[in-house]
Amino acid sequence: GVYRLTFAHARRTSHVLPHLLEVVFDGVAVGKVEANSDLFTRRDIRLPYHEAGSYSLMFRGVHIEAGDRTSLIDDIRLERVEEDGNLVQDGSFEETGDLTLRLNSQARYEIGSVLNGRGWTFSDAVTNLNLSGGVTGTNIAAAGVAEDLGGWMVSPVAGGRAAFLFGNGKLHTTVTFPSGGVYRVSFLGAGGAGGSTLSRSGTYPSVNARHTLDVTFDGVKIAPIRLGPPGYQPYEVTLPAVAQGQVAVIGFEGSTGTNSYSRIGLIDDVRVTCVGPAVVQEGGFESPVTSGVVIAPSGAAWSFTSAADSGDPDAKSGVCVERQPFTFAVPMGRQAGWLQKTASIRQAVTFPEDGYYAVSFMAAARTEGHYVHVGHDFALTLNGAAVGTVTTTDYLYERYTFRLPYVKAGVSYLLAFQGLNSAGGDRSSALDDVRVTRVPVMDAYAPFPEGLAIDLAEGASLALDFAGTQPLHALRIGGRYVSGTVSAATHPAAITGTGTLLLPNLGTLLTLQ
């Protein structure tokens, strides 16, 4: 299987010179890390797939610079990693060869196409003369790979290297999709640290964090990303649906501008994994593109509510970007959906296979106006039947997941977020990153806990929204216990749905007269 090697790493406290350490597994170098701090840093290196057996693990010092340099190592762990089917070759950039350039005699890096041919392509440096505002200097747009600390580099999380984008630098990888469906690209991203000696010829102060980039799919921008401070954070972008065997180029393309103050983005642990069959379209509400707020846009995969539809000027839904009245931030991509009061957002969906599915999404409250619009609630519905309700209370997004009833393949269902607004007043919620995933058979819903007894009153009905047979301890219909197999076929007045109950015989009462 696939394993990850983690260990604590620091430099010698009495000698402040950094020490370079190479990790070798089964005779193959799998990563390089540099001790730059007296404080221990957790290193994480993902190993290639190996058969079960015995292998050698070695930590080897790389002494290529003068001085007394030492590494301290502690708490070495080797842990099994569940294989997620990642399609990206060398997503942690550990196999990118020798890095010949140096920054402040510390960070080792390499720029441009000299790195090509190892699963990735990197744009070469583009130097633009910048005379704006009376400032003379150079601005560099480039892509490359770096390791270690120093200057703008932030200690990598996955292995000892990370990719970087200067300004409008570009980074691409080609992926072949083994099956049709929806895939997701995930990565760790960080803004550059400190000042950069590679911007403004090293003479102009530059804040390198908050680098902006676009994730592209075959040259089409699908998600704008703004990286944050110099610390790695996870990012995920859902790709457009693909066909079996399709080949596509996934890109990370800087968008800060080649003639503006340089910003630097760091990227590590890039993964492309299968989400499942294409059920929901435009789960990130990235279409249609807007620069502000759009009410009930047409031509989108989702249907929205306009004020004319609801008869209430405040009961409406649409899409928006961050820092708008309806959302402070957007967790995935550039846009989010929003619904106000009793408005709805809905989409007709079909499922590729019979079975159980789960709907997962992120939601947040409208906090504009000193939190007077929080406390909005809405229901997730399938064909009008509620499968879960959410009340949003803060501008920070939370993820919610609800299991759907058993569904049939090829049948059209209406999936909707229906505003309830139980508290009254002008309240709203924002939505993003809606996903529908197949629930594995082993995790299929078990509706009844052990020992449960259900008493069904006269005239009431029980909906069995599952396939197959489920055991139940006891069921009483209209005051009388039933046993054996019970379904809509055996008790049509009291049971609906596709499921069947298996009930034990709890005893027999004989009345003798």
pLDDT at 206: 43
In a domain, 248, yes or no: yes
182 and 312 belong to one structural domain? no
In a domain, 513, yes or no: no
Tell me what the mean pLDDT of segment 167-189 comes to: 91
158 and 79 belong to one structural domain? no
**Cα 462 from chain centroid?**
37
3-state secondary structure at position 441: helix
212 and 109 belong to one structural domain? yes
Question: Side by side, which strands form the sheet with 398-403?
Answer: 293-295, 317-321, 335-340, 428-438, 357-365, 398-403
End-to-end Cα distance, the chain: 72
CA-closest candidate to residue 444, choices 470, 463, 462: 470
267 CB neighbour count, 10 Å cutoff: 26
In a domain, 283, yes or no: no
DSSP state of 404: P
264 and 120 belong to one structural domain? yes
pLDDT at 46: 79
Of the three residues 29, 50, 83, the one that is the final residue of a domain is: 83
Whether the predicted pLDDT of 245 surpasses 80: yes
Name residue 403's beta-bridge partners: 358
249 and 169 belong to one structural domain? yes
352 and 496 belong to one structural domain? no
- What is the average pLDDT value for the chain, to the nearest integer? 85
In a domain, 508, yes or no: no
Confidence of residue 257 (pLDDT cuts 50, 70, 90): low
Whether the predicted pLDDT of 126 surpasses 70: yes
Whole-angstrom Cα Rg for the chain: 28
What is the number of structural domains in the chain? 4
Residues 6 or more apart whose CB falls under 8 angstroms from that of 318 comprise: 293, 294, 295, 296, 297, 304, 337, 338
pLDDT at 287: 84
Report pLDDT digits (tens) over 67-76.
888 999 999 9
The CATH number assigned to the domain holding 198 equals 2.60.120.260
Whether the predicted pLDDT of 139 surpasses 60: no
**Cα(182)–Cα(177) distance, integer angstroms:** 10
3-state secondary structure at position 207: coil
250 and 127 belong to one structural domain? yes
Whether the predicted pLDDT of 273 surpasses 70: yes
**Cα(254)–Cα(262) distance, integer angstroms:** 11
DSSP run (H or E) holding 310? helix 307-310
181 and 224 belong to one structural domain? yes
Residue 257 backbone zone (phi > 0: left; psi -120 to 50: alpha; other: beta) = left
In a domain, 285, yes or no: no
DSSP run (H or E) holding 174? strand 170-176
Tell me what the mean pLDDT of segment 346-369 comes to: 90
167 and 253 belong to one structural domain? yes
Domain that holds residue 498: 453-503
Report pLDDT digits (tens) over 293-343.
999 999 889 999 999 999 999 999 999 988 888 898 887 777 899 999 999
142 and 30 belong to one structural domain? no
Tell me what the mean pLDDT of segment 377-390 comes to: 95
361 and 461 belong to one structural domain? no
In a domain, 447, yes or no: no
**Cα(322)–Cα(326) distance, integer angstroms:** 8
Tell me what the mean pLDDT of segment 340-354 comes to: 94
% of the chain residues with pLDDT over 90: 40
Report pLDDT digits (tens) over 201-240.
333 344 576 788 999 999 988 888 888 777 788 888 888 8
Please return the burial class of 195, using the count of CB atoms within 10 Å of its CB with bins 0-12, 13-18 and 19+.
middle
In a domain, 215, yes or no: yes
- Determine which of 36-40, 104-108, 293-297 has the lowest per-residue pLDDT on average: 104-108
Confidence of residue 199 (pLDDT cuts 50, 70, 90): very low
The two structure tokens encoding residue 398? 């939370």
Alpha helices in 150-225 (DSSP H): none
**Cα(389)–Cα(78) distance, integer angstroms:** 41
Tell me what the mean pLDDT of segment 170-196 comes to: 86
In a domain, 510, yes or no: no
170 and 234 belong to one structural domain? yes
Whether the predicted pLDDT of 7 surpasses 60: yes
Tell me what the mean pLDDT of segment 83-111 comes to: 81
